[in-house]
């Protein structure tokens, strides 16, 4: 396959050959694989893989959507920050619509708060530069992929001496979620489809514990049909052979060692902290807190707002979906009370959410 020819990654002959190989290798076994990347969730739904793979091969969606795993308490704090007089709240688009306990950023915007969607954290820095009389608070959401850019923006704000810029960091790191899933007695994961985007930063080393502690294999894959099927085929081989390993099937995008420059940038600005995850609880050292040296850019420290008591949405099973305990369509609200137009939980809000992907590609 010519790695420089994009059409090769959608070659129907390669797809057919991979599907046949997966069927032959799997035989009559039952295997559970979990993808932990929202883009993989969308790819699996878009290409209809669940309908064409063998019945014994179960693809489960895990905590791969950063919007979805953001805890209700963090949404409630963002809502409280939006009520700070004169403040501008900036964040990525999906976060606007995520329901908190009694409100959302979209609701606050409708009530008069200045809530703005940005496409890059640098847009929030420019907002602060253009509005020196206003406090600009950026809600930083994401995994290892987005953290370097937000770290760079804090450094940029420091260099420009922007006293009115701050970040509400609700960043998460992926290995902690994998550890929680692998340790969960309600899940039985035989292999992980590891995230391509995150792995460009982390490399393979943070996943080795899956093999060393749990004997569970993982394969980093890309997002085109052949990418995904190659990753699944290799995982099935590893599971059937009883030879767990962490492998890279996305070498055109991911180096085994990751991006050391980006990691150093994150380490300069952030430090690990305990963080709450929707569905997984508070996971030790799974968040990224702003270091003391940059405390003046930490919105949580600068604005000690009153946050309402957290309430989870009645009937919503997003947490169980994120743990791989149930499929989205097993939630009693799915497609009825909860739709992308009227979401009850965050998994139906984000374009990369498991419920939204199941709903969009349900036919």
Note the pLDDT of residue 93: 86
Q: What does DSSP assign to residue 235?
A: H
CB 114 within 8 A of CB 84: no
CA-CA-CA-CA dihedral for 184, 284, 235, 260, to nearest 10: 180
Distance CA 256, CA 204 (A): 5
Consecutive H or E run containing 167: strand 165-169
Enumerate the CATH 3.40.50.11750 domain ranges in the chain, comma separated.
Answer: 6-66+194-248
222 Cβ neighbours under 8 A, 6+ residues apart: 9, 196, 228, 231, 249, 250, 252, 253
Residue 304 CB-half CA count within 13 A = 0
Distance CA 331, CA 320 (A): 9
Residue 222's Cα: distance from chain center in Å? 15
In this structure, what are the phi and psi dihedrals at residue 251, rounded to the nearest 5 degrees? Answer: -70, -25
Consecutive H or E run containing 228: helix 225-241
Note the pLDDT of residue 6: 59
Distance CA 79, CA 87 (A): 12
Enumerate the CATH 3.40.50.11740 domain ranges in the chain, comma separated.
Answer: 67-173+258-302
Around Cβ 177, how many Cβ atoms within 10 Å?
23
Distance CA 47, CA 12 (A): 12
pLDDT in tens, the chain (363 residues): 445 465 678 888 999 999 999 999 999 999 999 999 999 999 999 999 999 999 999 999 999 999 999 999 999 999 999 999 999 999 998 899 999 999 999 999 999 999 999 999 999 999 999 999 999 999 999 999 999 999 999 999 999 999 999 999 999 999 999 999 999 989 999 999 999 999 999 999 999 999 999 999 999 999 999 999 999 999 999 999 999 999 999 999 999 999 999 999 999 999 999 999 999 999 999 999 999 999 999 999 999 999 999 999 899 999 999 999 999 999 999 999 999 999 999 999 988 999 999 999 987
101 Cβ neighbours under 8 A, 6+ residues apart: 72, 75, 76, 308, 309, 310, 311, 312
Residue 342 CB-half CA count within 13 A = 6
Nearest to 59 by CA among 73, 68, 67, 49: 49
Distance CA 88, CA 165 (A): 10
Q: Which CATH superfamily is domain 6-66+194-248 in?
A: HypD, alpha/beta domain 1 (3.40.50.11750)
Note the pLDDT of residue 134: 97
The C-alpha angle with vertex 253 and arms to 238 and 324, in degrees rounded to 5, equals 50
Q: Which residue has the tokens 């403040």?
A: 87
End-to-end CA distance of the chain: give it in Å, rounded.
31
Q: What CATH topology corresponds to 67-173+258-302?
A: Rossmann fold (3.40.50)
250 Cβ neighbours under 8 A, 6+ residues apart: 196, 199, 220, 221, 222, 227, 231
Residue 148's Cα: distance from chain center in Å? 15
Note the pLDDT of residue 8: 75
Global pTM value: 0.93
Nearest to 174 by CA among 219, 206, 221: 206
112 Cβ neighbours under 8 A, 6+ residues apart: none
Would you state the structure tokens that stand for residue 269, as one six-digit string? 């600005």
């Amino acid at each position: 396959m010519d790695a420089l020819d994009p059409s090769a990654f959608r070659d129907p002959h390669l797809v057919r050959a991979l599907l046949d190989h997966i069927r032959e290798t799997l035989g009559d076994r039952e295997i559970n694989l979990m993808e932990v990347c929202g883009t993989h969730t969308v790819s699996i739904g878009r290409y209809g893989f669940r309908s064409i793979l063998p019945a014994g091969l179960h693809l489960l969606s895990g905590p791969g959507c950063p919007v979805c795993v953001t805890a209700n308490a963090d949404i409630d704090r963002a809502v409280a920050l939006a009520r700070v007089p004169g403040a501008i709240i900036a964040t990525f688009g999906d976060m606007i619509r995520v329901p908190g306990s009694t409100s959302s950023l979209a609701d606050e915007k409708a009530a008069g708060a200045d809530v703005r969607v940005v496409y890059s954290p640098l847009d929030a820095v420019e907002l602060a530069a253009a509005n020196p009389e206003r406090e600009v608070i950026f809600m930083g959401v994401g995994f290892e992929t987005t953290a370097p850019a937000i770290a760079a923006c804090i450094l940029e704000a420091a260099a420009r001496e922007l006293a009115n810029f701050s970040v509400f960091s609700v960043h998460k790191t992926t290995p902690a979620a994998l550890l929680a899933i692998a340790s969960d007695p309600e899940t039985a994961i035989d292999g992980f489809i590891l995230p391509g985007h995150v792995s460009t930063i982390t490399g393979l080393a943070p996943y080795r514990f899956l093999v060393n502690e749990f004997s569970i294999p993982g394969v980093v894959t890309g997002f085109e049909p052949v990418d995904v099927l190659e990753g699944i085929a290799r995982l099935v081989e590893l599971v059937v052979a009883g030879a767990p390993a962490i492998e890279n099937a996305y070498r055109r995008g991911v180096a085994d060692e990751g991006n050391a420059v980006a990691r150093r940038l994150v380490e300069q600005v952030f430090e690990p902290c305990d963080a709450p995850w929707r569905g997984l609880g508070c996971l030790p050292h799974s968040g990224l807190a702003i270091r003391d040296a940059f405390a003046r850019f930490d919105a949580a420290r600068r604005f000690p707002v009153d946050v309402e008591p957290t309430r989870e949405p009645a009937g919503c099973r997003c947490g169980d979906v994120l743990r791989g305990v149930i499929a989205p369509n097993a939630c009693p609200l799915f497609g009825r009370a909860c739709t992308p137009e009227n979401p009850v939980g965050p998994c139906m809000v984000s374009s990369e959410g498991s419920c939204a992907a199941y709903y969009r590609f349900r036919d």
